[in-house]
């Protein structure tokens, strides 16, 4: 058997990781090891042989291999990685054999063929220099004469370590995105699937598996992100023989014509022995270095002002100029004009029931066009941004009246609207050409440097004019349209918004520079949400705004300091009526915007941690600069503390051998109603001197807090 056994290894990352592959008798390889780096002289054949399992009574005579694409034709009894059939519904029992293995600095590509069926399979494991993330994808190529229906093509399948007994995923709804779901991995097939033509608020395409308990600062875990903006499926199977594995792919059937190919989409896999923070560091670095087209080291994340919750659809030039003046006064650097600026004389946009698709400046609201407002904003020293929802149309619009065939409402069935709107058929090139022309004309005629790209409904009943399913083609058309706009206007940034966090994934981020995490800017909701989303999305990439004193989505009333501090931990912005600010709140907002600007460059390039809470009501995040010279601790309290006093909170990621000058930045927020006396050095001294080892091992004690509050602590290494 050893003579027919081939092995390969893939080493990547810093600290390095290793994946070991083994193939017996030229069958598709299996992953026999994935985790921390193996010694350079490790005998790979030993790992392959040690992966063999006993064959008990009552089973097949051979244990079917859990290959990197498990095949029904090889007797695999679980969830297979490929499911195809011919035009008459006969399944293809594939038995691929390895044809070529290509290894270079970019990774390993396994090429396999099934001569009988005329199929070729490409299974790619790609790496980038110094990255701890493995990019994986599959491609099926038809060299034969048969037309195949591909119901499922997974990315290369990754095994789950036997000690990984728990999983974490995310559910949600509008204004409640990134709610964690933690559970034991049970026997059987566990599927999370979105069929909404966007990732959806309810099924973010990310999965974490690891040792119990899943913790942020300790423990081993692995994670997968599937980079596709809709119709995705993520599968976790725990088989009856004890093996576990993860798959992901597009959740729509596709036809594979002779001479054509079908792609799985891209998955991203990583391993951590430092808890979920390790997963976060790997994915955040990957996004910043290889996904988002933006040099965060050179480009500051501008303080954003969005006018939506200040005016909604009620646009007047004087009102908007006043908001811009107030936003500039508190330190905003970008002004974004949201929904309501467009429409025609016969069909104005005064609510969400009309005008989508009519991307012309409303001449009644803007009698001199947008130029006076854009120039006013620019004179204030701010960039100008604008809102579009290109994929959508209201039936009450000139576009729908002129081109009813462009609306994705095929056949004589009763169609369901969402937010009074329908999808345009972006699989029709005439539609995407129209959209490009309208957006291009707006960007060419004005100094617009930012687009908020929204998508406010799910795509259901989505078939094209010929009755064929069109959601995969829709997503591809969206990516192509975004890419084309960016090529024509390379200085324009695009924010991905879909009723908040309905479309967040690494594929859409290849064409955008920011995501709107949620339409909720309730600071409590946002603090919890951002403390989960950071595992997959860098804080510099998700927008976080200071909302109104009374939240528009929850009606909860929260102090300005809490709202501003939460916003500081993402890409900071403001979204409220500036005229409603009392002087004290305005001063507080100015103070924290200045702090954000002072620290954002190192915050967005350093390491970001979530701390494991020592008390249930506490939720804390820590930013540490790359050189470990500075840190900012945001320690949040969401409920009334259960204990009579506050326990020490251990920090992480500091230089253990250095001394830090530690300052409680918002000492003025300490309330005598909560803390009567506190003799800790951070209260009695302007700069308490504490060692990195002390802060990490003993921890930091903070004042007794009120609910809905954050303590901000700054540390700077003593020279």
CA distances from 323 to 244, 377, 516, 551 (A): 55, 10, 21, 19
Helices (H) and strands (E) in the chain, counts: 14, 36
Ramachandran class of 145: left when φ > 0, alpha when ψ lies in -120 to 50, beta otherwise: alpha
Q: Which residue of the set 454, 458, 522, 585 is catalytic?
A: 454
Q: Which residue(s) pair with 16 in the sheet?
A: 13
- Pick the closest to residue 535 from 270, 292, 166, 302 (CA basis): 270
For 132-160, the DSSP string reads --EEEEEEEEE-SS--EEEEEEPSPPEE-
- Pick the closest to residue 357 from 423, 261, 308 (CA basis): 423
**Distance in angstroms (rounded) separating the CA atoms of residues 636 and 630:** 20
- Interacting residues of 373 by C-beta distance below 8 A, sequence separation 6+: 317, 320, 321, 324, 337, 366, 384
Question: Cβ(157)–Cβ(68) under 8 Å?
Answer: yes
Q: Which residue of the set 519, 585, 669, 708 is catalytic?
A: 519
Radius of gyration of the chain (CA): 27
Pairing of strands 304-306, 334-337: parallel
- Interacting residues of 227 by C-beta distance below 8 A, sequence separation 6+: 205, 265, 266, 267, 268, 505, 506, 507, 510
Would you call 241 a catalytic residue per the annotation?
A: no
CA distances from 5 to 67, 290, 547, 619 (A): 14, 35, 61, 50
- Pick the closest to residue 634 from 659, 658, 669, 586 (CA basis): 669
Alpha-carbon torsion, ordered 444, 323, 294, 610, to 10 deg = -160
What tokens does 530 get?
């951002």
- Interacting residues of 633 by C-beta distance below 8 A, sequence separation 6+: 620, 621, 622, 649, 651, 700, 711, 712, 713, 714, 715
Question: Cβ(545)–Cβ(573) under 8 Å?
Answer: yes
Name the 3-class secondary structure at 644.
Answer: coil
Q: What angle do CA 700, 706, 709 make, to 5 degrees?
A: 75
**Distance in angstroms (rounded) separating the CA atoms of residues 232 and 252:** 8
**Distance in angstroms (rounded) separating the CA atoms of residues 254 and 470:** 10
Backbone angles phi, psi at 714, to 5 degrees: -110, 135
- Interacting residues of 90 by C-beta distance below 8 A, sequence separation 6+: none
CA distances from 672 to 449, 638, 668, 677 (A): 47, 19, 11, 8
Would you call 454 a catalytic residue per the annotation?
A: yes
Q: Which residues are catalytic?
A: 454, 519
């Amino acid at each position: 058997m050893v003579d027919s056994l081939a092995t390969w290894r893939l080493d990547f990352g810093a600290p390095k990781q290793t994946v070991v592959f083994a193939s017996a008798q030229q069958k598709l390889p299996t992953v026999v090891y994935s985790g921390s780096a193996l010694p350079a002289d490790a005998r790979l054949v030993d790992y392959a042989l040690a992966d063999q399992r006993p064959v008990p009574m009552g089973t097949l005579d051979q244990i079917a291999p859990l290959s990197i694409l498990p095949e029904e034709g090889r007797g695999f009894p679980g969830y297979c990685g490929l499911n195809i059939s011919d035009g008459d519904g006969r399944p293809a029992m594939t038995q691929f054999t390895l044809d070529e293995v290509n290894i270079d600095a970019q990774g390993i590509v396994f090429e396999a063929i099934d001569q009988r069926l005329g199929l070729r399979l490409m299974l790619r494991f790609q790496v980038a220099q110094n990255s701890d993330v493995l990019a994986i994808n599959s491609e099926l190529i038809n060299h034969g004469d048969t037309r195949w229906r591909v119901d499922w093509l997974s990315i290369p399948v990754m095994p789950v370590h036997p000690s990984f007994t728990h999983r974490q995923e995310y559910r949600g709804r509008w204004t409640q995105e990134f709610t964690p779901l933690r559970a034991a991995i049970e026997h059987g097939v566990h599927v999370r699937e979105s069929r909404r033509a966007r990732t959806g608020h309810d099924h973010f395409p990310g999965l974490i598996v690891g040792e119990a308990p899943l913790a942020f600062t300790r423990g081993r875990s692995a994670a997968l992100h599937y980079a596709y903006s809709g119709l995705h499926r993520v599968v976790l199977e725990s088989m009856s023989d004890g093996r576990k594995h993860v798959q992901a792919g597009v959740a729509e059937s596709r036809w594979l014509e002779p001479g054509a190919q079908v792609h799985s989409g891209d998955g991203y896999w990583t391993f951590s022995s430092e808890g979920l923070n390790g997963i976060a560091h790997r994915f955040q670095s990957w996004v910043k270095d290889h996904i988002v087209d933006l040099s965060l080291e050179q480009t500051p994340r501008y303080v954003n002002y969005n006018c939506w919750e200040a005016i909604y659809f009620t646009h007047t030039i004087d009102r908007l100029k006043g908001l811009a003046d107030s936003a500039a006064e508190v330190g905003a650097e970008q002004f974004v004009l949201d929904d309501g600026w467009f429409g025609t004389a016969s069909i104005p946009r005064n609510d969400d029931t009309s005008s989508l698709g009519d991307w012309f400046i409303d001449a009644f609201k803007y009698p001199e066009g947008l130029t006076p407002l854009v120039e006013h904003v620019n004179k204030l020293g701010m960039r100008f941004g604008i809102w579009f929802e290109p994929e959508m149309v209201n039936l009450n619009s000139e576009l729908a009246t002129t081109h009813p065939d462009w609306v994705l409402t095929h056949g004589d069935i009763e169609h369901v609207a969402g937010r009074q709107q329908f999808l345009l058929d972006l699989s029709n090139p005439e539609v995407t050409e129209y959209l490009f022309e309208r957006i291009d004309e707006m960007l060419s005629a004005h100094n617009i440097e930012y687009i908020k790209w929204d998508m406010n409904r799910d795509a259901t009943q989505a078939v094209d004019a010929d009755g064929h399913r069109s959601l995969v083609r829709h997503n591809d058309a969206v990516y192509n349209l975004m890419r084309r706009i960016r090529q024509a206007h390379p200085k324009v940034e695009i924010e991905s918004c879909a009723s908040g966090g309905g479309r967040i994934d690494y594929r859409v981020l290849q064409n955008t520079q920011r995501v709107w995490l949620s339409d909720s800017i309730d600071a409590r909701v946002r603090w919890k949400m951002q403390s989960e989303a950071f595992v997959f999305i860098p804080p510099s990439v998700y927008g976080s705004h200071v909302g109104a004193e009374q939240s528009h989505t929850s009606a909860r009333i929260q102090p300005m300091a809490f709202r501003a501090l939460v916003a500081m931990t993402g890409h900071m912005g403001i979204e409220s009526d500036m005229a409603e600010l009392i002087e004290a709140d305005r001063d507080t907002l100015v103070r924290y915007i200045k702090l954000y600007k002072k620290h954002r460059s190192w915050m967005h390039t350093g390491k970001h941690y979530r701390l494991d809470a020592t008390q249930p009501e506490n939720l804390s995040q820590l930013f540490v600069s790359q050189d470990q010279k500075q840190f900012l601790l945001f320690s949040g309290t969401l409920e009334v503390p259960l204990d009579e006093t506050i326990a020490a909170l251990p920090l992480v990621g500091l230089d253990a051998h250095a001394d830090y000058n530690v300052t409680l930045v918002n000492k003025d927020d300490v309330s005598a109603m909560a803390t009567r006396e506190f003799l800790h050095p951070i209260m009695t001294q302007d700069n308490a001197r504490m060692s990195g080892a002390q802060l990490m091992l003993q921890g930091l004690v903070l004042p007794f807090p009120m609910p809905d509050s954050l303590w901000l602590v700054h540390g700077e290494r003593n020279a």
